[in-house]
Amino acid sequence: MSIFTVALLVLLIPHFSDGQFEQWCIADEQTADADLQVALDWACGKGSANCSMIQVNQPCYLPNTVRDHASYAFNSYYQKFKHKGATCYFNGAAITTELDPSHKSCLYEFNP
């Protein structure tokens, strides 16, 4: 087996943490911005997600798009409440991913 094949296999194996798949919750690319905004407002309001990092001058404010802000808020809610039965659904506006969506100084939370 070549070193390239081994490296490729390592990249394709899902990450595990304490025997669980690592999953983040992000906005579904197929969802309209208006629907994402409704779900984002709920997540940051009644959903009690920590949305402080997507405020102006905070690490996850940029890119300043509804989709990026919704992804951060959805993940915050999901990580905070998944052990209490919460899902990554948001009325069909979100999906789970095993690829860490963190970028630059914007770190997405993961709770095993």
Q: In the chain, where are the structural domains located?
A: 22-112
Q: What mean pLDDT value characterizes the chain?
A: 88
Residue 36 has pLDDT above 60, yes or no: yes
pLDDT score at 12: 44
Residue 7 has pLDDT above 90, yes or no: no
pLDDT score at 88: 98
* Whether 15 contacts 22, CB under 8 Å: yes
What is the distance in angstroms between the CA of the first residue and the CA of the last residue of the chain?
A: 33
Mean pLDDT, residues 58-72: 98
β-pair partners for 26: 95
pLDDT score at 74: 98
Q: Is the peptide bond before 59 cis (omega within 30 degrees of 0)?
A: no
Q: What is the pTM of this model?
A: 0.82
Question: In Å, how far are 22, 23, 45, 69, 112 from 101, measured between CA atoms?
Answer: 12, 10, 22, 12, 16
Rounded CA-CA distance 94/112 in Å is 19
Residue 18 has pLDDT above 50, yes or no: no
